[in-house]
């Protein structure tokens, strides 16, 4: 695998966002506008204060859009990205045996897996089911969209950057 020269850590963010919209007529000129607005709503959701990152195999939880909050007091927005690594449980079982293959592997960037979550702390209004009668036929589009992206950084870059 090819890595950028200036890369110590690769943050891999995975999660699922839900895309949904309702179209009265899928062939109408307004359909493109409705779909575009639905994607804008997804963009807003990903930049909202409810976005939470959970660092896999660690107790670290980050709220990046709320003036950078962390479940660990020692991790702040000014902390270096490399500081996250100290909280991740390693998979090493026992002592390290020296071998050329392992030494070569150590020079590769560290991959940090992150789960994308959404915090729900306030009720969103009435929770009772409601029935709505619609006079026209509508097409409803609702699908989960997997999100899988990476960010490569050097260990000394701040978390807020």
- Structural domain containing residue 44: 1-87+107-120+137-160
What is the pTM (predicted TM-score) of this model? 0.73
Give the number of domains in the chain. Answer: 1
Domain membership of residue 95 (yes or no) is no
Domain membership of residue 130 (yes or no) is no
Whether the per-residue pLDDT at 25 is higher than 90: the answer is: no
pLDDT at 90: 77
Domain membership of residue 98 (yes or no) is no
pLDDT at 152: 92
Domain membership of residue 152 (yes or no) is yes
The three-state DSSP-derived secondary structure of 73-121 is CCCCCCCEHHHHHHHCCCCCCCCCCCCHHHHHHHCCCEEEEEEEEECCC
Domain membership of residue 70 (yes or no) is yes
Segment 13-41 mean pLDDT:
89
Higher pLDDT, 32 or 104: 32
Whether the per-residue pLDDT at 102 is higher than 50: the answer is: no
Higher pLDDT, 1 or 30: 30
Domain membership of residue 96 (yes or no) is no
């Amino acid at each position: 695998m090819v890595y950028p020269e200036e890369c110590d850590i690769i943050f891999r963010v995975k999660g699922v966002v839900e895309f949904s919209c309702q179209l009265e007529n899928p062939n109408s000129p307004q359909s493109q506008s409705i779909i575009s607005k639905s994607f804008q709503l997804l963009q807003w959701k990903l930049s909202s204060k409810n976005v939470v990152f959970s660092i896999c195999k660690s107790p670290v939880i980050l709220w990046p859009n709320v003036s950078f909050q962390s479940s660990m007091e020692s991790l702040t927005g000014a902390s270096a990205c490399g500081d996250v690594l100290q909280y991740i449980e390693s998979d090493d079982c026992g002592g390290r045996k020296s071998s050329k293959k392992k030494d070569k592997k150590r020079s590769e960037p560290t991959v940090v897996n992150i789960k994308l979550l959404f915090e729900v702390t306030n009720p969103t209004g009435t929770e009772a089911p409601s029935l709505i009668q619609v006079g026209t036929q509508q097409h409803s589009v609702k699908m989960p969209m997997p999100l899988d992206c990476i960010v490569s950084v050097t260990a000394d870059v701040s978390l807020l950057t």
